[in-house]
A and B are shown apart, each in its own frame.
Chain A
């Protein structure tokens, strides 16, 4: 079964087939170490999803949105960026991309434990905070890319959003401005086929989101989002274009959300079980694992070692975050303004400082 397109017309670019094979003579543009790092980050993401899900059910973490099914899409695109100069503007389902930029799992857990300090990206890390209001981050990314270029910096901005978010007016306004200003931005649209319970067929009548790029005067690419190599190569092309001053690219990574929208969502109410089952054959983590085994990069011993390290990292991040769980009253007032109005200061005194 091919991954179905919206209107069945366009097929995404694919290099790594669902059975883990690549075309004859294909040599991935990633070194053995990079391949293992990519696999490790995908596996890491999957394990964080699983652990976080059970922790959320135990009441130790708040609502979160798992990445499961989209790991190749998120990791493949992030690997094409240089964290020292390029920026990621996330939505909320891109943890591995954020981690690669320099965010820490401990902070993510902190955020999910209700401490807003977890959404402060560490100084020097080229990353905007998690964005809940869908598509509003797209104009930010364009402004950021434009601002970098205005200051003579050679950074490229990769902004993440989804099939649902692309219906917002901000998508249109951001793409239009990016085209006009030739902003060094990569619009990375993860088409995971579901916006909570709304299928992509009710989101758009177009056969391909990538085709929309033509309307803004820049190229669009449609790739198999469960194929690490196709995603990586497309993003490398887009980043090179942007860095060379040739402007934006829209990448549609066609993937599949294998889990719920978030921990408060019950997809069994609307996802046909046979569809979910069919997409299991397209699991991006398993696909890369099969390839790496065949390529002699990965074996069971390395896999065990990686899994052991990942469990330990997750455990350590949780242990570091849990003592700081929850918010402090001052955080209601800190950072609302640089120079707060007198009334807010009075409210702070009444609500927080008097108790101290």
Chain B
């Protein structure tokens, strides 16, 4: 997946010289995960900019760069640290178009990796997507495949709205799939049916899609046919597609990495109830992290929803019918 992201950044920078990358360690070092490797050499220090260690001004200066007519792509090294720029993201990036009544659009794509089971120190893994999904003006994009990473990132960069583009850091190297060579755009707000199935619909996004797929495999051995759905974008949310997908099976389970309470799963369940209530034959359940802070690495296997916990969730939904 990381190659797809790097290639997309390069292609877009080639196409549009208004694009600037800014972030910590993204230049000479090529980024913590090599997402920007070689780009500074190719596009120069003026377009691939190593920034001081300060998330607030990485995002805040992107607002000013956009006001000057440029299209910045700031990288936050880990989504958990974006909290130190939350006031700029939620209060400024997301609202500047609204505040200025359209005078200052914010074509900014904030890239941020996140996600568990990579034994990082504290704050590196947290799945904070719900905080940003509740920030009107921002779009929240969470690809689960390399192909979608290219298609959604291209769409994000070409669009006029600010996008928080969350990349599953465990998937940077583990997620491998065919990426189209030609221009590839995936529209926002259209979920992807990952796997067809008739008994229950599993809803996930980003790396949790992989866990859901694996749980579906195991469930199949028990005779349970799982449909797996990848939301791709939380904002905009494909409410209609979600309703249709759940209506086809009558059952649903949401799997996400964030703590359960007020996680985006709650929004998904509410949407399912609105869209597909009369098709439901069982309560809709969620599998998420416990309502505890992200732990030290020795405990993260227990914390991050595993394939086994997803499978257990599937069984619970099936048993309730």
A interface residues, Cβ below 8 angstroms from B: 89, 116-117, 119-121, 123, 128-129, 133, 136, 138-148, 150-151, 157, 169-170, 173-174, 176-177, 180, 331, 334-339, 341-344
A342-B189 contact given A173-B54, A180-B52, CB 8 Å threshold: yes
Binds A, one of B27-35, B59-67, B281-289: B59-67
Binds A, one of B7-15, B100-108, B142-150, B244-252: B100-108
Among residues of A, the one whose C-beta sits closest to the C-beta of B87 is A136
Within 8 Å of chain A (Cβ to Cβ): is B293? no
B236 to chain A, nearest CB (A): 3
A341-B64 contact given A116-B101, A129-B99, A151-B69, CB 8 Å threshold: no
Within 8 Å of chain A (Cβ to Cβ): is B91? yes
- Tell me which of A138, A151, A177, A343 contacts B70 (CB under 8 A): A151
Other A-B contacts than A148-B68, A335-B102, 9 sampled, CB-CB below 8 A, are: A120-B100, A129-B100, A136-B88, A138-B60, A145-B64, A150-B20, A150-B65, A151-B69, A177-B61
Among residues of B, the one whose C-beta sits closest to the C-beta of A337 is B161
Within 8 Å of chain A (Cβ to Cβ): is B297? no
**Contact (Cβ within 8 A) A143 B61:** yes
A78 to chain B, nearest CB (A): 19
What residues on B are CB-neighbors of A339 within 8 Å? Answer: 159-161, 188
- Tell me which of A144, A180, A343 contacts B68 (CB under 8 A): A144
What residues on B are CB-neighbors of A335 within 8 Å? Answer: 97-98, 100-102
**Contact (Cβ within 8 A) A341 B88:** no
Chief secondary structure at chain A's binding surface: helix
Taken together as a complex, chains A and B put the C-alpha atoms of A139 and B189 apart, in Å, by 32
- Tell me which of A143, A180, A342 contacts B64 (CB under 8 A): A143
- Tell me which of B54, B100, B188, B235 contacts A177 (CB under 8 A): B54
What residues on A are CB-neighbors of B235 within 8 Å? Answer: 341
Taken together as a complex, chains A and B put the C-alpha atoms of A225 and B51 apart, in Å, by 34
What residues on B are CB-neighbors of A139 within 8 Å? Answer: 56-57, 59-61, 63-64, 88
B interface residues, Cβ below 8 angstroms from A: 20, 46, 51-52, 54, 56-57, 59-70, 72, 87-88, 91-92, 96-105, 136-137, 139, 159-161, 188-189, 235-237, 239-240
What residues on B are CB-neighbors of A119 within 8 Å? Answer: 99-101
A-B pairs with the 6 shortest C-beta distances? Answer: A143-B64, A139-B60, A147-B68, A341-B236, A143-B61, A120-B101
Taken together as a complex, chains A and B put the C-alpha atoms of A136 and B103 apart, in Å, by 18
**Contact (Cβ within 8 A) B239 A342:** yes
A209 to chain B, nearest CB (A): 19
**Contact (Cβ within 8 A) B104 A176:** no
**Contact (Cβ within 8 A) A173 B56:** yes
Taken together as a complex, chains A and B put the C-alpha atoms of A165 and B62 apart, in Å, by 20
Among residues of A, the one whose C-beta sits closest to the C-beta of B84 is A169
Taken together as a complex, chains A and B put the C-alpha atoms of A116 and B57 apart, in Å, by 27
Taken together as a complex, chains A and B put the C-alpha atoms of A341 and B159 apart, in Å, by 13
Among residues of A, the one whose C-beta sits closest to the C-beta of B20 is A150
- Tell me which of A123, A180, A331, A338 contacts B161 (CB under 8 A): A338
A-B contact pairs, 12 of them (CB 8 A): A143-B65, A144-B68, A146-B61, A147-B65, A150-B46, A151-B70, A336-B137, A339-B160, A341-B139, A342-B236, A343-B239, A344-B136
**Contact (Cβ within 8 A) B91 A343:** no
A346 to chain B, nearest CB (A): 9
Among residues of A, the one whose C-beta sits closest to the C-beta of B105 is A338
Taken together as a complex, chains A and B put the C-alpha atoms of A176 and B51 apart, in Å, by 10
Residue of B59, B64, B104, B139 contacting most chain A CB atoms (<10 Å): B64
What residues on B are CB-neighbors of A128 within 8 Å? Answer: 67, 100, 104
A217 to chain B, nearest CB (A): 12
**Contact (Cβ within 8 A) A121 B64:** no
What residues on A are CB-neighbors of B57 within 8 Å? Answer: 139, 142, 170, 173-174, 176-177
Residue of A138, A331, A335 contacting most chain B CB atoms (<10 Å): A335
Taken together as a complex, chains A and B put the C-alpha atoms of A173 and B61 apart, in Å, by 10
B274 to chain A, nearest CB (A): 10
Among residues of B, the one whose C-beta sits closest to the C-beta of A133 is B91
Residue of B52, B60, B100, B105 contacting most chain A CB atoms (<10 Å): B60
B96 to chain A, nearest CB (A): 8
B242 to chain A, nearest CB (A): 11
Among residues of A, the one whose C-beta sits closest to the C-beta of B67 is A144
Taken together as a complex, chains A and B put the C-alpha atoms of A150 and B62 apart, in Å, by 13
Among residues of A, the one whose C-beta sits closest to the C-beta of B137 is A336
What residues on B are CB-neighbors of A337 within 8 Å? Answer: 97, 137, 139, 161
Taken together as a complex, chains A and B put the C-alpha atoms of A231 and B64 apart, in Å, by 26
Taken together as a complex, chains A and B put the C-alpha atoms of A133 and B86 apart, in Å, by 13
Taken together as a complex, chains A and B put the C-alpha atoms of A123 and B137 apart, in Å, by 22
- Tell me which of B60, B99, B105, B236 contacts A173 (CB under 8 A): B60
**Contact (Cβ within 8 A) B63 A143:** yes
Taken together as a complex, chains A and B put the C-alpha atoms of A335 and B98 apart, in Å, by 5
